[in-house]
Amino acid sequence: MEGFAGKVCVITGAGSGIGQALAIELARSGALLAISDIDTEGLAKTEEQVKAIGAPVKADRLNVAEREAFALYADAVVKHFGKVNQIYNNAGIAFTGDLEVSQFKDIERVMDVDFWGVVNGTKVFLPHLIASGDGHVVNVSSIFGLFAVPSQSAYNAAKFAVRGFTEALRQEMKLAGHPVKVTTVHPGGIKTNIVRNSTAAADIDSAGLNKLFDKGALTTPERAAQIILESVRKGHARVLVGPDAKIVDVIVRITGSGAYQGLLAAIAGRVLPRLS
């Protein structure tokens, strides 16, 4: 894809799924890559594929929830490549469970990775993105950042927060006249390990949940990466990834929040697999 040659791109959660596909597509497009993940095995696989394409790559274990480590990592990336143009705050985890049966630690874990991980990455890299003269922040939210569903209060909270955070930042960069574009990404169901890697409350049938997700996820991570990068190239404010994301966005906007909640509660009540 055009527009990425020579750009230094940072990708979190690059050991699997969307992050891995972004790394490979960016490598093919001539970018230089700083990839990281908490899962070093997955990361090594991505590194191998990116190297085979011939892209310069720096691969590091990084937990995005660890703010101090993230700050040190940003310095190390800038020292290694001399600049940073783009950050893809992609790392994320899922949790399924009604609030009534969820623990505080379940909610905190999701917020720590899915919200604070994005804030940490954006904040520590922002001065470098501004200094590059051609920066871009790409923050991965979800369609669950556009509407809420039962059993996803923690994930919904984190993904709505990422959306608000990122949309505010986009306006701040414009007002300040900084050379930094900002894009929020809202994927629909993407065929990745997100649900298989996820945790759930005690009453949720995890095997049933995996099956439901495998049936419902319509878009491959490779296609998702292409859609995201096309929007990044064009500097879009937000990108809806997959036909399900586009349809749901329209339904929510047409019906308004009261009506969509009634509709989704009825559907979720029937399809969410629970242990009886």
At 255, the amino acid letter reads T
**Residue 132 vs 217, nearer CB to ligand NAD:** 217
Place of tokens 């699997």: 16
Closer residue to ligand NAD in complex, CB, 102/198: 198
Least Å distance, CB 113 to ligand NAD, is 4
**Distance separating alpha carbons of residues 239 and 126, to the nearest angstrom:** 21
Smallest distance from the beta carbon of 179 to ligand NAD, in angstroms? 26
CB nearer ligand NAD, residue 178 or residue 236: 236
Residues that bind ligand NAD (CB under 6 A): 12-13, 15-19, 37-39, 42, 62-65, 90-93, 113, 117, 140, 142, 187, 189-190, 192-194, 197, 217
* Least distance CB 14 / ligand NAD (angstroms): 7
260 catalytic residue (yes or no):
no
Q: Which residue, 70 or 132, is less far from ligand NAD as judged by CB?
A: 70
Which residue numbers are catalytic?
155
